[in-house]
Structure 1
Amino acid sequence: MKFAYKFSNLLGAVYRQGNLSFSNDGNAVISPVGNRVSVFDLKNNTSETLPISTTKNITCVGLSPDGNLAVVVDEDGAALLVSLITRAVLHHFHFHKPVSSIRFSPDGRRFVVTKDSVALMYHAPGKQREYNAFVLDKSYYGPYDETTCIDWTDDSKCFVVGSKDMSTWVFGAERWANLLYYSLGGHKDVIVGCFFEKNSLDVTRTGPRTNPSPRGRGGDEEEEEEVEEEEVGDTTEGEVIRGKAEAPKEKNETKNVRFKQRSKHFFNKQGDFNNLTAAAYHKSSHILVTGFASGIFHLHELPEFNLIHSLSISDQRIASVAINGSGDWIGFGCSGKGQLLVWEWQSESYVFKQQGHFNNMASLAYSPDGQYVVTGGDDGKVKVWNTNSGLCFVTFTEHTSSVTKVTFTSSGFVIVSASLDGTVRAFDLHRYRNFRTFTSPRPAQFSSLAVDVSGELVSAGAQDSFEIFLWSMQTGRLLEVLGGHEGPVSCLCFSPVQSILASASWDRTIRLWDMMDSWQVKETIPLTADGLSVTYRPDGQELAVATLNGEISFWDPQTATQTGCVVGRHDLEMGRKETDKITAKQSAKGKSFTTVCYSADGESVLAGGQSKFVCIYNIKEQMLMKKFEISCNLSFDAMEEFLDRRKMTEFGSLALVDEGAGDGDGVTISLPGVRRGDMSSRHFKPEIRVSSLRFSPTGRSWAATTTEGLLVYSLDGSLVFDPYDLDLDVTPASIRKQLCLQEWASAIVLAFRLNEKALKQEVLETIPHAQIPVVCGSLPDIYVEKLLGFVAASLEKSGHLQFYMTWSQSLLMLHGQKLKNRSALTILPTLQALQKSIQRHFDNLSKLCDFNMYNIRYATALSKQRGVKRAAEEDVGKEEEEDEDEELSEEMSVASLDDTDLIL
């Protein structure tokens, strides 16, 4: 029950390959990431990775018109029918060949799949439960090369298929009297997109051109085809399909559907780098979006082909383009950089912009409150992710080489990173800038990093000079260079309670350095093999060391004595790589754990390395508690346990055969010592491995940086029944009876003994607000910590902010001294979870208050301005009235004079 961690989210990767899709309401974009599918909510600015995975990387995703179902297909043609409501797999199917595209009909009754040169139409699964959800209806043949794209008419009667043979085929979904199939030509390269007009049979096609046009304008072209009927003497009886401009005719005058070219347009792009790679069309607004290999995209209005926008989003190839239902947002996917963008073309602004690490992630660290995660990658970038939303909100690009280690300071507002470029940099999360840069007297490649509890001392270990460098965070000056290791320094760790630095090295020693006593070596601990990773327990009373022989040893830092050892070599279960000539079992003997971390309570340790498995060991019992398989993606290397005989040839393994130019006599293998495949080849499979592991300070989750990305596993408390001191009289009926009798304290005790979340929440929210201090004071000590943990978990998602804040305040005020006297390992995760929840609400409320404050200021300033304007208008009006009164009095005086003259 304690280790019931489930896959929660995938961070660090937003798009890899395949097609993007918008949800039915247009507020979320669905993106394939490796062998998983991520859903990015653009309205709430959150991300979610579905708990499903295919056996290989996903190539295309088909979404049903109502947005409830999705068909996910991988590289081999294995398909999953997924419910987007329950997030569950409903059906498995295999197309036996790679699928290029899939599209549901607008009425949701059928969907078309294209593979090779064939288009297959299936009956879509309905609401009723069926034995076989995919039933083949018809197979359509026509193209001579691989098919590329599909589109349906609005009435679901016809669909069009584009192909690599430069032709476009229009097929009838049923057997119509005047249309069986129709082939459209005219392009000189691959058809990238083909689209029907709204409520019509008019076809728009886009495709790149490889040769210049007769007018000297090279690049891409776009054509539009229009429906026209000609007299063909066909009097076949049956239902007739008609275009939008056609008047109803009698059945005996049926004429075949004819297409003719109406217009042709060119993009005026020259060079192969500007080839058209992706296209999308919005039927209602007649907007055509085209993406190019140079990272440029165009917006044109059809049929006049008027250019609306022409912008560049990156220098990489745009792999996929999608438009939401309203036509306001356009999604772009760049597989080269792993970039996902959503652009609002009317306001010319980004709605969503995310990019993962271009290469492998090397390290991660949690903030002290567990709200943020920082990662460093081989691309030299440092990214900070929000654990609640799963999105990156700041990226630092100051490093010029791979980032090897990252960490937070104890304040949580400073990030320190070490890199192979010879610098250690400190970043400020308030101003988002690099405010300190630490360097060594001689250039060194830093492979390890540690910051002490006070945040004043920064240490980094070099892998070439075998030295440890020590800097001051305040001044940025180098304080000391610690020498003594006879091999590269692989890992550094400061004690959480003392100024003691532990360093692990390849020279088979652990050295403890005393920062208070002239930086001298306090203790040297001998190891049986090279030290790869070292970490302190959260209370600083124990050390865990991972060595090259696959063992994890535990040491008492005070007496330098070994307290335990775990042999985990057999738990790694290393897979067999394609180029290996030995079995996976034999290969695992040379593997080891490369990263180790303690759980929040210090009772267990989490370990991972060159394997697809992450292991949790109980320290006291020195035994394996649980193993997590972080990936089942066969697109990675070292995943299969046994040799695949289908990949064997007469020369040996297919991966070892050189398919390049040569005389054919010799067999070229990859260079010896190359771990990630032959870099000189055009394609290689990345190897699955875990580079870093960290437990969240709250103890509710843990994260791992892997070849796939940043995987987050968290506790799913709703599915776990974990009672405490259960008895026969502990039932929901007895708990509700205590509530009716207003025995609040006994009701809480019974609810926590049964330990069901819904029941605990019901009991807690039934208690009157005025009785909270009284109930907290009468609670037994053993239930105080459990209640505080539940309040911290409920406060994170509940809207009853003042109610749960009152609970936490009463518990801390009345039982603070008792909690303080307990072990820090047991109470610290609960307090950090409470701090994370309060900080999250504080951030949300502060933003809302700032927004309201600025609105009120704007409203008052606007009212003052209008008041001044109204006063000025009133002054002007008074002056005009006075002028009018003066003129009137003068006229009256003149009139009285005339009257007196008349009387005289």
Structure 2
Amino acid sequence: MQCAAFLQFSNLLGTVYHRGNLTFTPDGNSVISPVGNRITIFDLKNNKSETLPVESQLNITTLALAPDGNLLIAVNEDGEAMLISLISRSVLHHYHFHRPVHAVSFSPDGRKFAVTKEKNVLVFHAPGKTREYNPFVLERTFYGAYDDTVSIDWTSDSSVFCVGGKDMNTRIFGAKHYSNLIVYSLGGHTDSIVNAFFERDSLDLYSVSRNGQLCIWESDTDLAGLIPYEDKENRVSSDEEDEEEAEEKQVTDQKDKETTEGKVLYKRLAKHTYKDARGEGAPPTHLMSAAYHKGLHILVSGFQDGAFYLHEMPDFNLIHSLSISDQSISTVSFNASGDWVAIGCSERGQLLVWEWQSESYVLKQQGHFNNMSCLAYSPDGQYVATGSDDSKVKVWNTLSGFCFVTFSEHTAGVTGVTFNQNGQVVISASLDGTVRAFDLSRYRNFRTFTSPRPVQFSCLAVDPSGEVVCAGAMDTFEVFVWSMQTGRLLEILAGHEGPVSSLAFSTSRAMLASGSWDKTVKLWDVFESKGARETLSLMSDVMAVAFRPDGNEVAVATLNTQISFWDVDSATQTASVEGRHDLGYTRKDTDKITAKKSSYGKSFSTLCYSADGENILAGGRSKNVCVYSIRDQILIKKFEITCNLSLDGTQEFLDRRKMTEWGSLALVDEGDGEDGGRSISLPGVKKGDYSSRHWKPEVRVSSVRFSPTGREWAATTTEGLLVYSLDHNLVFDPFDFAMDVTPQNVRSSLERKEYSVAMMMAFRLNEHKLIQEIVEMIPVSDIDFVTDSLPDVYVVKMLSFVAGQLESSRHVEFYLQWCRHLLVRHGPRLKQTSLSLLSMLRSLQKNLSRKYTELSKICDHNKYMLQYLLSLAKIKVKQPRDSDDNESEEAMESCDASDSEDDLAAILNESDSASS
């Protein structure tokens, strides 16, 4: 295993959207989504997702992206804002508004941004637009609303912005001081404003309210007609006669002119409702979100029942409607070109990108509805399967971060999931009393294993050959063994006196380890004899068991927060680790005991060995994941998976402002109000509340697994599936370093055509870009010679480098030549140390299989297209031969057809050879 200090947070899977607004990047190819207290960027063009390495203290509710796409403002539930650079992927500044913020919007010119805070609107200078060191420089505060302000929209020239509020009014403010526009309020609605939009290059306005009313407002002044305050003073006449005539007018006429003359006036042109679009018999529902594209004049609206509509403005003509789910649509957003609409549903954790012109999905992702309970890596490390309490099994691509298949055949929570030996089958166990096998080629449930009498399966294991499936029961204390080929129940292993909590198969021998709450671990010889081969007695209930990769050692996690290591052959304990202090002391909001006392109820519930078997990864009912060195019996590194205070169990000490002499205020149930109503969990609920009550979920780690490639590990947590991986670009780790090993000497050796020397010096520096530069400058004809002259130490490093380059480089054939020569020349020596190189070889296999899959699809498509063209060339159109000219023309056509057939046949043969 690589040094644990180099493992850094890489990506967040399993959750695609939590709450808040969605925003597109300026090029329109990526959508930015708030996921809990993190931010994920979905690259729709390259089909990848990336989670920014920044974290807020609470869930993020509002996002605003600068027009240049370099700066992002994220505001959480408590009003704390982060200024994030999308170039360096880092936080530049923190600012606290001390109140919840509903909307943040940059002006189109990027020089200002506006923030809605309670009844006020704050306008700031954009970061970098002033010479002050503080990025958040307040320019002006606008007042006048009677209730919270919820939306902001700017005119095209950034001179005026409108604000919609819960007081059913839309107010228009000038970003600068204008004499004919100070504050203008538009009413006409009977419910709170959802959003308001300006027309392009105009002051005309659309406003939509929560009860589905749309008002169209027309202004008598265009943007060029706005008069700055200074110009009005300059226009005052200095002629005394004009002043005398003005004083002679009546007082009433003077007042009317002061209030109307020269001022911006609005009138309502039309008022529409969504009743026609929804139909006559449709039940009433609330409009939750709306977005308007000023270039295409299209309005999209999302409703509480999951329906959204596209209308052409200003005539309010319905383009089309669609219902995506039965849950509320929290936010909608257009990209720059207006072709794609991003839709987010917070209650389902669903994120959609809809192309309305072709009526097709560009992106359709949904996370698990409830907490994830288990995960498993495929043998090549390319896929991750997750099971959840929502009875679904999802398979994720670790490279793109997207879920590509969901299996929903289970009817209760999934408790275990694993892959077979070749990675083409996913097996899952559930509390519904079934173990199901899913085919990843046809995406179907092809095998279902059941017990003679109904039981609840709590754990799952598959032997290394993939022929035997075992599942432990929670209520009958038995282990059931099935045949994968026939689906028959082979044996029932009895002997435990408590629920079976964990199962694990040895990779080197036919041995099954089962841990139970009866404080024992039993070792079974599944194929040869009946009954337990060995019984390991422990001091507390067993929570998890795991075999070392070589199969000679088993690790056991118990309820007293200890991890003990046992030798399989002698059934003796070789080492132990005490982890109570490493799990950390945390206290829930509703706990009536201290954090130190509550730590006695915590333990490790999941274990996983590293690829080399020297370290072990442990997680449980805590926000910490610990990596231990087995040989030294010490903690190497502790990963804190989250600092999100929106989750329960992340703090050691509670806020004293919420503590009274009778206990914490969190113990008071305040109902299910929309604005901050608190609900405590029902008695006995630990994993999730299926009722309508909303409460803070407790942070915990349900499963941890190392990738077979050894480059990353993943954990299923309350926040989602967290992936930690190695980042080459941030680590300088020289090998066999010397004073004469410099980049200049490396390049000079390359110029002298000393390729072996240059490559070994580059590996000693261990800089990825330098190694890539040197390797790609070596001619293909010299690869064989350089491979022969490489020492064994550099052969392993070169193979690891080639494995990484096959994932991202376009020079596929070049690196395949390197791979072939290295394996042919040094294969026998590599085979002798294959166990220590297992992670590197699996990484190489993963990237080779992925490239093969991608290229084979292209070759197959070209092959079938050429076959189609070849069949068309064989069809000869027979025309009547009226004259010799027609005969000569037909002869020429037949010659051309035969020539084209020969050419296409030759191309087709080349395509077949290329695909092979």
Q: TM-score, normalised by structure 2?
A: 0.89
Root mean square deviation, CA, Å: 2.5
Deviations 1:380-407, CA, capped at 9 Å, x for gaps: 1100111111101111110111001100
2:695 equivalent in structure 1? 684
2:216 equivalent in structure 1? 224
Q: In structure 2, the residue corresponding to 1:278 is in which secondary structure?
A: strand
Alpha-carbon distance change, 309 to 677 in structure 1, aligned in 2, over 3 angstroms: closer
2:105 equivalent in structure 1? 103
Tell me if 1:853 matches 2:855. Answer: no
Tell me by how many angstroms 1:229 deviates.
Answer: 6.2
Tell me if 1:708 matches 2:719. Answer: yes
- CA distance in structure 1 between the partners assigned to 2:854 and 2:644 by the alignment: 38
Tell me by how many angstroms 1:92 deviates.
Answer: 1.0
1:677/1:684 contact within 8 Å kept = no
Tell me by how many angstroms 1:309 deviates.
Answer: 0.5
Tell me if 1:771 matches 2:772. Answer: no
Tell me by how many angstroms 1:677 deviates.
Answer: 8.3
Alignment of 1:110-129 (within 5 A): 110-126=112-128
Deviations 1:638-696, CA, capped at 9 Å, x for gaps: 011112101123532110123359xxxxx998665443588778331000110000000
- CA distance in structure 2 between the partners assigned to 1:236 and 1:736 by the alignment: 63
1:829 equivalent in structure 2? 839
1:651/1:657 contact within 8 Å kept = no
Tell me if 1:326 matches 2:337. Answer: yes
Alpha-carbon distance change, 878 to 778 in structure 1, aligned in 2, over 3 angstroms: same
Alpha-carbon distance change, 130 to 535 in structure 1, aligned in 2, over 3 angstroms: farther
Opposite residue 111 of structure 1, the aligned amino acid is F
- CA distance in structure 2 between the partners assigned to 1:446 and 1:433 by the alignment: 21
- CA distance in structure 2 between the partners assigned to 1:308 and 1:668 by the alignment: 41
1:80/1:91 contact within 8 Å kept = yes
1:619 equivalent in structure 2? 630
Tell me by how many angstroms 1:858 deviates.
Answer: 4.2
Opposite residue 294 of structure 1, the aligned amino acid is D
Match for residue 350 of structure 2 among 332, 339, 346:
339
- CA distance in structure 1 between the partners assigned to 2:420 and 2:383 by the alignment: 12
2:30 equivalent in structure 1? 28
1:453 equivalent in structure 2? 464
Alpha-carbon distance change, 271 to 239 in structure 1, aligned in 2, over 3 angstroms: farther
1:677/1:685 contact within 8 Å kept = no
- CA distance in structure 2 between the partners assigned to 1:808 and 1:881 by the alignment: 59
Q: In structure 2, the residue corresponding to 1:787 is in which secondary structure?
A: helix
1:17/1:59 contact within 8 Å kept = yes
Tell me if 1:486 matches 2:497. Answer: yes
Tell me by how many angstroms 1:823 deviates.
Answer: 5.4
- CA distance in structure 1 between the partners assigned to 2:269 and 2:882 by the alignment: 65
Tell me by how many angstroms 1:142 deviates.
Answer: 1.4
- CA distance in structure 2 between the partners assigned to 1:877 and 1:191 by the alignment: 79
Alpha-carbon distance change, 223 to 412 in structure 1, aligned in 2, over 3 angstroms: same
2:82/2:91 contact within 8 Å kept = yes
Tell me by how many angstroms 1:128 deviates.
Answer: 7.3
Tell me if 1:434 matches 2:434. Answer: no
2:149 equivalent in structure 1? 147
- CA distance in structure 1 between the partners assigned to 2:91 and 2:869 by the alignment: 52
1:293 equivalent in structure 2? 304
Match for residue 256 of structure 1 among 257, 263, 268:
263
- CA distance in structure 1 between the partners assigned to 2:593 and 2:202 by the alignment: 61
Q: In structure 2, the residue corresponding to 1:192 is in which secondary structure?
A: strand
- CA distance in structure 2 between the partners assigned to 1:236 and 1:677 by the alignment: 58
Tell me by how many angstroms 1:286 deviates.
Answer: 1.2
- CA distance in structure 2 between the partners assigned to 1:612 and 1:103 by the alignment: 34
Q: TM-score, normalised by structure 1?
A: 0.90
Deviations 1:823-882, CA, capped at 9 Å, x for gaps: 51x1111110100111111111112212322333444455566xx4xx45x548869999
- CA distance in structure 2 between the partners assigned to 1:235 and 1:453 by the alignment: 79
Tell me by how many angstroms 1:813 deviates.
Answer: 1.3
1:116/1:145 contact within 8 Å kept = yes
Match for residue 747 of structure 2 among 709, 733, 736:
736
Alignment of 1:238-257 (within 5 A): 238-239=230-231, 255-257=262-264
1:376/1:404 contact within 8 Å kept = yes
- CA distance in structure 2 between the partners assigned to 1:131 and 1:282 by the alignment: 35
Q: In structure 1, the residue corresponding to 2:295 is in which secondary structure?
A: coil
- CA distance in structure 2 between the partners assigned to 1:128 and 1:771 by the alignment: 57
- CA distance in structure 2 between the partners assigned to 1:38 and 1:351 by the alignment: 17
Tell me if 1:754 matches 2:765. Answer: yes
- CA distance in structure 2 between the partners assigned to 1:622 and 1:823 by the alignment: 27
1:61 equivalent in structure 2? 63
Opposite residue 134 of structure 2, the aligned amino acid is N
- CA distance in structure 1 between the partners assigned to 2:556 and 2:730 by the alignment: 34
2:178/2:227 contact within 8 Å kept = no
2:210 equivalent in structure 1? 208
After the TM superposition, which of the residue ranges 90-99 and 788-797 deviates more from structure 2?
Answer: 788-797
- CA distance in structure 1 between the partners assigned to 2:412 and 2:58 by the alignment: 31
Q: Structure 2: any 5+ residue segments left out of the alignment?
A: 233-257, 673-677, 888-916
Tell me if 1:841 matches 2:851. Answer: yes
Q: In structure 1, the residue corresponding to 2:12 is in which secondary structure?
A: strand
Opposite residue 221 of structure 1, the aligned amino acid is Q
- CA distance in structure 1 between the partners assigned to 2:325 and 2:115 by the alignment: 31
Tell me by how many angstroms 1:303 deviates.
Answer: 1.4
- CA distance in structure 2 between the partners assigned to 1:523 and 1:235 by the alignment: 91
1:175 equivalent in structure 2? 177
Opposite residue 854 of structure 1, the aligned amino acid is Y
1:17/1:335 contact within 8 Å kept = yes
Q: Structure 1: any 5+ residue segments left out of the alignment?
A: 210-219, 241-250, 662-666, 883-904
Q: In structure 2, the residue corresponding to 1:182 is in which secondary structure?
A: strand
- CA distance in structure 1 between the partners assigned to 2:689 and 2:526 by the alignment: 45
Opposite residue 543 of structure 2, the aligned amino acid is L
Q: In structure 1, the residue corresponding to 2:763 is in which secondary structure?
A: helix
- CA distance in structure 2 between the partners assigned to 1:397 and 1:235 by the alignment: 63
Deviations 1:320-372, CA, capped at 9 Å, x for gaps: 00011111111110111100111111111111100000000000100000000
1:449/1:461 contact within 8 Å kept = yes
After the TM superposition, which of the residue ranges 716-725 and 41-50 deviates more from structure 2?
Answer: 716-725
1:332/1:342 contact within 8 Å kept = yes
Tell me by how many angstroms 1:77 deviates.
Answer: 0.5
Tell me by how many angstroms 1:43 deviates.
Answer: 1.0
1:899 equivalent in structure 2? none
Tell me by how many angstroms 1:491 deviates.
Answer: 0.5
Alpha-carbon distance change, 702 to 184 in structure 1, aligned in 2, over 3 angstroms: same
Deviations 1:409-448, CA, capped at 9 Å, x for gaps: 0110000000001100000011010000000011111010
1:138 equivalent in structure 2? 140
Alpha-carbon distance change, 677 to 762 in structure 1, aligned in 2, over 3 angstroms: closer
After the TM superposition, which of the residue ranges 581-590 and 163-172 deviates more from structure 2?
Answer: 581-590
Tell me by how many angstroms 1:775 deviates.
Answer: 2.0
Q: In structure 2, the residue corresponding to 1:100 is in which secondary structure?
A: strand
